[in-house]
Amino acid sequence: MKSYFSLVIATLAINTDLFAAEAGMPQLNPKYWASQAFWLILIFTILYISIAKFYLPKIKNNLDDRENKIKDDVDDANKFKDLSESKFKEYEKILADAKKEVIKIQIESRTILDKNIQSKKEAMEKEIENEISKAQKEIDELKRSSLNDIQSISENITSSIIENISGDKLNESSIKATVEDVSKKNIDKYL
């Protein structure tokens, strides 16, 4: 260990010797000051001119272009958004109008239908009434004619009954009068 440390110290000594050999900062040696100044000014001027005249405008253009493009795109997007919103509103309005129209048509058609049904019903009722009254009349006529028939049949039956019971023929006119009398009395029962 001791030998190692002595080795380290020895190398450090050599190193410091080396440092001493290079002693003095090269920065403070004015030998190449003029050269450094000259080349610095030359190179920096070239760098400055090419950056200022060529590269920075290019970068600036590109940045501006991008900004404009983004702005334009956002504007376009907003425009389209507005357009779609207005279209949607239009669509909703059309839909609402159509609904209103449907309701209107429904009401109209219902009233027309109701009216039709009513008038048809009335016509039908009138017809039925006519038919009924016609039938009534026929029935009445039939009744009346049947009454006459009944009377003559009654007369015939009466005369034949009397003839069979008494063996005499009665006066037809008297039978007729009697039957007529009885039937008149009882006609209300049957009519």
Partner 1 sequence: MQQFSVHKIGPEIKIAGVDLSFTNASLFMVISASIILLFLFLGTREKKIIPDKVQLIAEMFYTFVAKMISDTAGSKAKPYFPFIFSLFMFVLFCNMVGMLPYSFTVTSHIIVTLIMALFIFVAVTIIGFTKHGFKYLSIFVPSGVPAVLLPLITVIEIISYLSRPVSLSVRLFANMMAGHTMLKVFGGFVISLGLLGGWLPLSFSVALTGLEILVAFLQAYVFAILTCIYLNDALNLHH
**What does the binding site for partner 1 look like in residue numbers (CB under 8 A)?**
4, 7-8, 11-12, 15, 19, 22-29, 31-41, 43-44, 46-48, 50-52, 55-56, 58-63, 65-66, 69
Burial of 151 (0-12, 13-18, 19+ CB in 10 A): middle
Indicate the Cα dihedral angle 135, 137, 140, 141, nearest 10°.
-110
Nearest CB to partner 1, comparing residues 24 and 167: 24
Helix-helix angle 172-190:56-166, to 10 degrees? 150
Q: Measured from the CB of residue 47, what is the shortest distance to partner 1 in angstroms? A: 5
Are 179 and 154 in contact, with CB atoms under 8 Å apart?
Answer: yes
Q: Measured from the CB of residue 36, what is the shortest distance to partner 1 in angstroms? A: 5
Nearest CB to partner 1, comparing residues 42 and 187: 42
C-alpha 183/C-alpha 144 separation (Å) is: 13
Query: Which residues are within 8 A (CB) of 10 and not within 5 positions of it... i.e. 6 or more apart?
Result: none
Nearest CB to partner 1, comparing residues 17 and 188: 17
Q: Measured from the CB of residue 13, what is the shortest distance to partner 1 in angstroms? A: 10
* Token pair recorded at residue 38: 């000259």
Alpha helix (H) residue ranges in 33-171: 33-50, 56-166
Q: Measured from the CB of residue 49, what is the shortest distance to partner 1 in angstroms? A: 9
Q: Measured from the CB of residue 64, what is the shortest distance to partner 1 in angstroms? A: 11
Nearest CB to partner 1, comparing residues 10 and 135: 10
Nearest CB to partner 1, comparing residues 8 and 112: 8
* Token pair recorded at residue 185: 């009395």
